[in-house]
Structure 1
Amino acid sequence: MNLIKTTLLVTFFVTFLGAVEVNSSVSKKKIAYIVSDIRIPFWEIMSRGIKNSAAKLGYKVSIYSSNNIKKFEIQNTIKAIKNRVDAIVLSPINSSSAVTILKFAKSANIPVVICDIGADEGDYVSFISSDNQDGAYKIGQVLTKKMRELGWDKNGSVGIISIPQKRANGKARTAGFMRAMSQSGIKVDGLKQQVDFSYKETYDFSKELIEKNENLRAIWLQGSDRYKAALDAIKDAGKENKVLLIVFDAEPEFLELIPKGIIIGAAMQQPYVFGENAVLVLDNFFNKKNVKKHIQLSILPISTDNIEKNTPLIKRNVLGILE
């Protein structure tokens, strides 16, 4: 279904439903979390922050996972409108698909808070993001330090396995990391964009980067959930202790892998805090309080040097582990 037909369909659909009623009781308000793929740990942790904050403030939450398929994302938007939700928290597949969802939400008078992946344009209450460029720059500095310690900074190069560069956060991550590499004089040789985020895709990209560049000394994975694929490719190529792995985001296993030096470091976003903030913003909006248009959260550049002192923060804000 093309965009024009879809827009007409949803406009008719919303008109047929009538304006979405705003319940007088906060306890009855419903929030839809429309997310690109709840199977990815980052989004699942964010959903926990949303649900926890919503429970405290008396909201109901429904999760609509699009499984990284744009058709499902549109269907989920229509379903949320049909279910007469009072607000949407949106983590879109990419910045361009967000534009369509924002148009549909505006037609239904539903306020939207965007989390992490931005929108190319459109109306929304607030955009909560990480400082992706700064976080990538700082984790690039962690890698630079390690490569210098090993004497690999002069002749060694780095390969990148990125998230889609259509995403605003993907572009920012690449720009920040490239700035760190440029300042250090370390060459970046190869960038592969993830499409389906599968183990096989990440393994094949890692293998290709290694095989095509005999001077490759590190792979930077712009995500975290497929780290095993990259490590397996490094091992299978006989490059353990010869090719480093550094990542963006985090998995629970990193609390052990980073101190051991199996993963050199990780730029850790705080998805649980994302979720908490999204509901707090909507609560302020519903109660006619001031709301910031853009909220930017810091990213933790974690390495063997600082992981121990930051472990409590990582457990709660990054991994959503409440003790």
Structure 2
Amino acid sequence: MRTIGVLGAAAALAVGLAACSSGGGSGSGTTGGSVKGKTISFVPGVSGDSFYITMQCGIQAEAAKNGMKVDMQAPQQFDASLQTPIVNGVIAKKPAGMLIAPTDAKAMVPPLLRAKQAGITIGLVDTTLAQSGLAVTGVSTDNKAGGAAAADALAKLIGQKGKVLVIAFKAGASTSDDRQHGFEQEIKKYSGIQYLGAQINDNSPAKAASIISATLAAHPDLTGVFATNQFAAEGAATGLRNAGKQNKVKVVGFDAGPVQVQQLQRGDVQALVAQQPYQIGTQAVDQLVASLTGKKPTAEIGTTTTTITKDDLSTDTGRQAVYKTTC
């Protein structure tokens, strides 16, 4: 599940599709002209999100190598009720394939089932579905491993002792759930850390701030927070500032878009777990092309994460981890 993007960025995202052609995809190359001129529809989870912009750049670049076109339309919020009519519109256009980040593992099954029945080859990116068999491939971050990386980073920041909390952004979204569960499994390895559980902020910074305030009232000795997206981190930082606990309570965030990097530079968070959205895009196109040309695609591909701190931003590793805002 992705974050609620800046609404005005939707137009820029669409324009950017035509320009995206750089980067380092794995490259399936041309396929004898069998997919040339065909279209891939890209339906991200939300408009204006740098994670999806970076993924879009990878999709566009890899599609161009195969002589394919890409069109994109994104919902204004990470919401199945807004993504469903977009999928219905894609069905009407009848592209050769669709790459989609389902905004809900269950609610997006019916519209994607209709897309499959209409003969559209489907690939999943970033998020998954509760029903298997609808997509020929699924390419996403190993979010459980990402959650585990966040647990390790937070444990290091707090000296492997104290009380920690997870603020998860949306129940039912596979990414949010997996990050939470990965964190929960890994944090058990640290005997000096007491896990206070997870609370849901529903992508609301204000709700995340309220969660922090209530947790500090009950546990004034709180030492760490894993905020599973930018809005959880933003709200956590607000709650900690209001309580005079900023930098005293350590925060690990997720993703490395402009907002998250600013949070890291300001000290709102002390570490970020960055995904590889460009590679997700290129690999998803490769698998879709394989399916469209009669080859066997890889059903599931998991990509890795990179943990960065403020000091890492001046290194090659840190710079490469930061997401794009344009292609």
What TM-score, normalized by structure 1, do the two folds share? 0.81
**2:43 aligned with 1:45:** no
Q: Secondary structure at the match of 2:108?
A: helix
Cα distance, 1:210 vs structure 2: 2.8
Q: For 1:164-175, what aligned pairs fall within 5 Å after superposition?
A: 164-175=170-181
- CA distance in 1 between counterparts of 2:56 and 2:207 reads 26
Contact 2:53 2:324 (8 Å CA) reproduced: no
Q: Secondary structure at 1:157's aligned position in 2?
A: strand
State which of 105, 111, 122 in structure 2 corresponds to 1:112: 122
Tell me how far apart the structure 2 counterparts of residues 49 and 100 of structure 1 sit (CA, whole Å). 28
1:63 aligns to 2:80 (yes or no): no
Contact kept? 2:169, 2:232, Cα under 8 Å:
no
- Going from structure 1 to structure 2, the CA distance change for 1:234 and 1:280 (only over 3 Å counts) comes to same
**What's 1:121 paired with?**
131
Identify if the C-alpha distance between structure 1 residues 74 and 260 changes in structure 2 by more than 3 Å, giving closer, same or farther. Answer: closer
In structure 1, stretches of 5+ residues that fail to align are: 1-23
Deviation at 1:296, TM superposition (A): 0.9
Q: Partner of 1:134 in structure 2?
A: 145
Q: Does 1:34 align with 2:43?
A: yes
- 2:320 is the alignment partner of 1:276: no
Q: Which has the larger radius of gyration?
A: 1
Report if the CA contact (8 A) 1:96-1:119 is conserved. Answer: yes
- Whole-Å Cα distance in 2 between the matches of residues 249 and 129 of structure 1? 13
- Partner SS state of residue 107, structure 2: helix
Local SS of the residue matching 1:62: strand
Does the aligned pair in 1 maintain the 2:167–2:226 contact within 8 Å? Answer: yes
After superposition, give the CA deviation of every residue in 1:259-285 in whole Å (9 maximum; x if it has no partner).
775422111111121112222222222
Q: What is the identity percentage for the equivalent residue pairs of Structure 1 and Structure 2?
A: 22
**Structure 1 residues 107, 322: closer, same or farther in 2, change over 3 A?**
closer
Alignment of 1:182-221 (within 5 A): 182-185=188-191, 186-195=193-202, 197-221=203-227
- CA apart distance, 1:79: 0.7
CA distance in 2, matches of 1:79, 1:218: 44
Query: Which residue does 1:16 correspond to in 2?
Result: none
SS at match of 2:196: strand
1:240 aligns with 2:273: no
- The aligned counterpart of 2:156 is 145
| Cα deviation, residue 119, structure 1 | 1.0
Structure 2, unpaired ranges of 5+? 1-32
Deviation at 1:38, TM superposition (A): 1.8
Cα–Cα, structure 1 residues 251 and 226, in superposed 2: closer, same or farther, change >3 Å?
A: farther
Amino acid at match of 1:50: I
2:84–2:108 CA contact under 8 A, matched in 1: no
Deviation of the 1:168 alpha carbon: 2.8
CA shift at 1:177, angstroms?
0.9
CA distance in structure 2 between the aligned counterparts of 1:201 and 1:54, rounded to whole angstroms: 40
Contact 1:224/1:250 (8 A) holds in 2? no
1:285 alignment counterpart: 291
The 3-state SS of whatever aligns with 2:230 is coil
SS of the equivalent of 1:42 reads helix
Closer, same or farther: CA 29–144 of 1 in aligned 2, 3 Å: same
Deviations 1:42-85 (A, max 9, x none): 22332232223223432222222232232222211111111122
Q: Secondary structure at the match of 2:172?
A: coil
Shift in CA distance, 162/282, structure 1 to aligned 2, threshold 3 Å: same
Q: Considering only aligned residues, what root-mean-square deviation do their CA atoms show, in Å? A: 2.5
Distance 1:253 1:163 in 2: 16
Aligned-residue offset at 1:163? 2.8
Tell me the secondary structure at the aligned position of residue 191 of structure 1.
strand
Q: Following the alignment from structure 1 to structure 2, what is the Cα–Cα distance between the partners of residues 322 and 64?
A: 16
Secondary structure of residue in 1 paired with 2:258? coil
Q: Secondary structure at the match of 2:287?
A: helix
By how many angstroms is 1:25 displaced? 6.0
Q: CA deviation at 1:144?
A: 0.7
Q: Which has the higher contact order (CA 8 A, sep 6+)?
A: 2
- Match of 1:135, as an amino acid? G
1:103 and 1:122 in contact (8 A); partners too: no
For the residue of structure 1 that corresponds to 2:95, the secondary structure is coil
- Given that 2:146 and 2:179 are in contact with CA atoms closer than 8 Å, whether structure 1 keeps it comes out as yes
**TM norm structure 2:** 0.80
Count, aligned residues:
291
Structure 2 CA distance for aligned equivalents of residues 205 and 43 of structure 1: 28
Q: Hey, what does 2:165 align to over in structure 1?
A: 159
Look up the match of 1:21: none
